[in-house]
């Protein structure tokens, strides 16, 4: 018997030709070098109870228009099942109003309403973007859901 056959697998050294991780993220997906990769800029941890305070729901956009007094805002009417709310979203550079009608989106429903350029916004459309904000996408369910369905 050779040493390889008698040595348990856990004690055997890793093959020398196996690549070592070269980035700072799980799974090596960022492609960066762990010596030069930027530190993640995650926000501080929160308690689970704090997360539960955020009311995320599926909404269906029923109307969309340009904001009359703003270059970057769209005025959306969003059906949340039990009511329709006006929500202003800074997504004009990425979406035409007519392309949003009928689209389902993720909405933060319990933000305190506020005026933006003279119109009230009663929620926030959840979106993703890169650090440079070159591209912004609204987060949508991957199949139809009832308006007002809870997200977690």
Confirm or reject CATH 2.40.50.140 for domain 54-151, answering yes or no. Answer: yes
Prediction pTM value: 0.73
Domain extent listing, the chain: 54-151
pLDDT in 10s for each residue of the chain, 152 residues: 555 555 455 555 555 555 444 445 555 555 555 556 667 788 999 999 999 999 999 999 999 999 999 999 999 999 999 999 999 999 999 999 999 999 999 999 999 999 999 999 999 999 999 888 789 999 999 999 999 999 99
In angstroms, the CA 23 to CA 35 distance is 8
Q: Please check whether residue 107 is in contact with residue 121, taking contact to mean a CB–CB distance below 8 angstroms.
A: no
Q: Please check whether residue 56 is in contact with residue 151, taking contact to mean a CB–CB distance below 8 angstroms.
A: yes
């Amino acid at each position: 018997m050779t040493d390889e056959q008698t040595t348990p697998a856990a004690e055997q050294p890793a093959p020398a030709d196996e690549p070592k991780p070269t980035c700072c993220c799980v799974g090596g997906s960022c492609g960066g070098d762990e010596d030069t990769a930027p530190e993640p800029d995650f926000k501080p941890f929160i308690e689970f109870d704090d997360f539960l305070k955020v009311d995320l729901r599926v909404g269906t956009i029923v109307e969309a228009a340009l904001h009359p007094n703003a270059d970057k805002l769209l005025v959306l009417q969003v059906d949340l099942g039990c009511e329709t709310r006006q929500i202003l979203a800074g997504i004009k550079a990425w979406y035409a109003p007519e392309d949003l009608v009928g689209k389902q989106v993720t909405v933060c429903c319990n933000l305190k309403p506020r005026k933006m350029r003279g119109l009230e916004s009663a929620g926030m459309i959840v979106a993703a973007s890169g650090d440079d904000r070159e591209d912004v996408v609204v987060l949508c369910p991957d199949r139809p859901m009832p308006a007002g369905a809870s997200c977690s």
